[in-house]
Structure 1
Amino acid sequence: MLFNAMRPARLAMMFAVSSAMLLVACGGDEPPIVEPDRLVRVIEVGASNRLGDREFPAVLEASKRANLSFRINGTLEKLPMKEGDRVKKGQMVAQLSRSDAANQLADRKAAYKRSSADFERAKKLLKTDFISRKDYDEIKARYQADEAGLKQAQRNMTYTGLIAPFDGFIANRYVQNHEEVVQGQNIYTLLNTDTFDVKFEVPEQLMLHVSSSTDIPPEEKADVKIRFASRPNAFYTMNFKEVATKADPERQTFEVTYMLPKLGELNLLPGMTGTVMVQLANIQEETYRVPSRVVVANSQLQPQVWVFDKNTGTVKAKAVTVGRMTGEEIEVLSGVQQGDVLVSEAAGLLHDGEAVRLRTAGEPTEEVK
């Protein structure tokens, strides 16, 4: 009886609670939207850079260089040239004693005369079958060997003289007169400085601009000049010669060689240094400079940036290729474009697709110059 008495009161209470819950569900305000907790600062990528003028240290080398040596062993009999002496093409610059070569020539002549006579007799005997074919072949081979020996002895007589192969000057002398020298031993270094090879190194992105490559239009070719410390305000025009096709494994640069004609007003010598000016001010480069803090490493230790999407308020990682670092800025060679908004702070704490909030509402973004 007590259960039956309590039923109307319980039902009334349950109805009241259900009604209240229904009213809250149907008629209450929308639940508040939770703002992203991650605060970031951003920068906007501006226009691509102009390459500007670049300077590179350079070294001069003689365009023509030769180490002079004898083709045979012998004793020096004449060594008239000193370091710095000028020589002409075809001039005798050193002489070996000819006695050894002359004795060898006389010996080879006697051997050739003897084997030549034997060979003539063998040819007659072979016709009448008074000599075997085997003996004939042996006599013939000996004759041919002595003939070759005679020709070599005759050439060796001419090799006793050392001849300058081109006009130039003696840069180095390595021996003294009357010394015994061997075949291939350096006697002099001969240089011709009517033109110089100017060697310097450039990074990969400049290689095509300073070469003769047809992969880029003529208007994107750089104007390359050189100046020297003795005349810092004078710039001298050079002509392209060659560029290395393999980068230096440590510096990741390419060696470029230009030709510089002899300058009357400057006393230039091999080994001197200069400064090469690569003028690129009018060439637009599809690279961008951003604060170095914008570029971070991914899990594979490769460079990347975080790109902020203004429409969704989220960030996404994007791989980039970077160039050289200057001060607090770094070149981004690929992976971004003008107008991209990049995270400049908190980048290391982000995840792909994460919603973020700018650090200060309405704060203007910093444009990369």
Structure 2
Amino acid sequence: MRILLLLVPAAFILHSCGTPASGKNATARSQADTIPVQVMPLDGNRSGLSPIAVSGQFTTDDETQLGFKTGGVIRSILVKEGDRIHAGQLLATLDLTEINTQVSQAQLGLEKAKRDFQRVQNLYRDSVATLEQLQNAQTALDIANQQVSAVRFNQNYSEIRAGQDGFVLRKIANPGQVVSPGAPVLETNGDKGWLLRVGLSDRQWATIKLGDKASLETAALPGKTLSGTVSRRSEGVDPQTGTFTVDIRVQGSAPLAAGLFGKGVIQPAAGAAVVKAGAWAIPYQALLDGDGSSGYVFVTNDGHTAHKVHVRLSGMEKDQVLISDGLTGSRDLIVSGSAYLNDSSPIRITPSTPVQ
């Protein structure tokens, strides 16, 4: 009986001491089961909204090479590269000795044709010349008139005049040089606004649309950012570069020059087709069991529990996978620690970089 009484307090003491130890072990086991992960917010990570970096040269869409209608010796070039020009301004002339001779010859031929026609007409009235002879004289007079018009037209185009306001970009020939008909002598452009002409890959070309906004920079204007808008998308690839040409029109006026190197960023509009399809760009390491056009990722909506979801792939880029379906409604994508997770695994979000 005395031994029984001693055992009861001892059991009570052991039970009392064992309870706290048991609680600590449970907590330790709970922490050990919680898997540390790193996450990436899914809001704003749709691939269609990703800015596109571009580079190219500034130009205009009305560059023109001007030449003479007729060939000959250049007499004078009245402008220099970089000069501002105005519509109708005389830019260059040919030596007119040869063309003036041609005009004089045509004029003499016209005067002779008039005399011949008058003579045959008088003879026809006196019934000496036939109707056929009169008609032939009339035809010769008409031909002489057309010849005079042709040489005078060439005489007028033996000088170069500006077709619009703009600038002289290049002087291709010099005074004293013999040029053939139509050979370029000057290259000019208009003043209707500057463009940054860039080349894009097929994926980038498919992402942007007319009217998308862009911010542009050039070393010629340090510290200044220009605003632009996509104004043209080529419908065919450039065979020389293998890229699609896109023009970004610079808004407002800026002291630019043709050929200046520029770079910028195009921000595709939210209404682009790829965004309508619901595409996301995620890191490669976040994708599990990728098989052709499908795979799995882990997401979390509360920051404490991981959920495995099936996703559909739409493509791959340099360091990203494009997801077209499966992430709608998810808050955060688990990008590190996925290999240790199961569906509904408890997680603990850790910083993406070590805390010092």
The partner residue of 2:140 within 129, 142, 145 is: 142
Q: Deviation at 1:254?
A: 3.5
Mapping of residues 353-364 of structure 1, within 5 Å: 363-364=342-343
Match of 2:182 in 1: 184
Letter in 2 for 1:237: S
Q: Which residue of 2 aligns with 1:257?
A: 247
In 1, the alpha carbon distance for the partners of 2:294 and 2:208 equals 34
RMSD: 3.9
Equivalent in the alignment of 1:49: 46
Per the normalisation by structure 2, the TM-score is 0.62
Give the equivalent residue in structure 2 for 1:37.
none
- The aligned counterpart of 1:101 is 99
CA drift at 1:76: 1.9
Equivalent pair of 2:213/2:229 in contact (CA under 8 Å): no
The answer on whether the counterparts of 1:195 and 1:260 sit within 8 Å (CA) in structure 2 is: yes
Deviations 1:146-190, CA, capped at 9 Å, x for gaps: 111111222233223221222333322222212222211111112
Mapping 1:1-369, distance limit 5 Å: 49-50=46-47, 51-123=49-121, 130-193=128-191, 195-203=193-201, 207=205, 210-212=208-210, 222-229=212-219, 234-248=224-238, 254-261=244-251, 263-264=253-254, 267-280=255-268, 284=275, 286-289=278-281, 291=284, 304-305=292-293, 321-322=314-315, 324-327=316-319, 329-332=320-323, 336-338=325-327, 363-364=342-343
Give the SS at the match of 2:62. Answer: strand
Q: Is the Cα contact below 8 Å between 1:171 and 1:190 reproduced in 2?
A: yes
Q: Structure 2: which amino acid aligns with 1:150?
A: V
Q: Is the 8 A contact 1:52 1:279 kept in 2?
A: yes
Counterparts in 2 of 1:121 and 1:171: CA distance versus 1, 3 Å: same
Distance verdict in 2 for CA 1:197–1:363, change over 3 Å? same
Contact 1:194 1:262 in 2 (8 A): no
C-alpha separation in 2, matches of 1:321 and 1:133: 85
Matched AA of 2:46: N
Equivalent pair of 2:46/2:281 in contact (CA under 8 Å): yes
Q: TM-score, normalised by structure 1?
A: 0.60
Alpha-carbon distance between aligned partners in 2 of 1:188 and 1:131, rounded to the nearest angstrom: 56
Q: Compared with structure 1, are the counterparts of its residues 249 and 113 closer, same or farther at alpha carbon in structure 2 (3 Å cutoff)? A: closer
| Cα distance change of structure 1 residues 76 and 167 upon mapping to structure 2, 3 Å threshold | same
Letter in 2 for 1:70: F
> Unpaired runs of 5+ in structure 2?
1-41, 297-310, 329-338, 346-356
CA offsets per residue over residues 333-368 of structure 1, 9 Å max, x none? 5xx5448xxxxxxxxxxxxxxxxxxxx9973499xx
Secondary structure of 2:247's aligned partner = strand
Task: Give the Cα separation in 2 of the matches to 1:230 and 1:98.
Answer: 43
Separation in 2, partners of 1:251, 1:183: 32
Q: For structure 1, which runs of at least 5 residues remain unmatched after alignment?
A: 1-45, 213-220, 297-303, 309-317, 340-359
Counterpart residue type for residue 68 of structure 1: L
Q: Partner residue of 1:349?
A: none
Aligned residues: 272
Report Cα offsets for 1:179-212 as digits up to 9, x if no partner: 2222111111123456212212345566577434
Mean Cα deviation higher: 251-260 or 93-102: 251-260
SS at match of 2:194: strand
Q: Distance in 2 between matches of 1:81 and 1:230?
A: 25
Distance across 1 between alignment mates of 2:177 and 2:243: 45
Secondary structure in structure 2 of the residue aligned to 1:195: coil
Aligned mates of 2:225, 2:340 — CA distance in 1: 53
SS of alignment partner, residue 80 of structure 2: coil
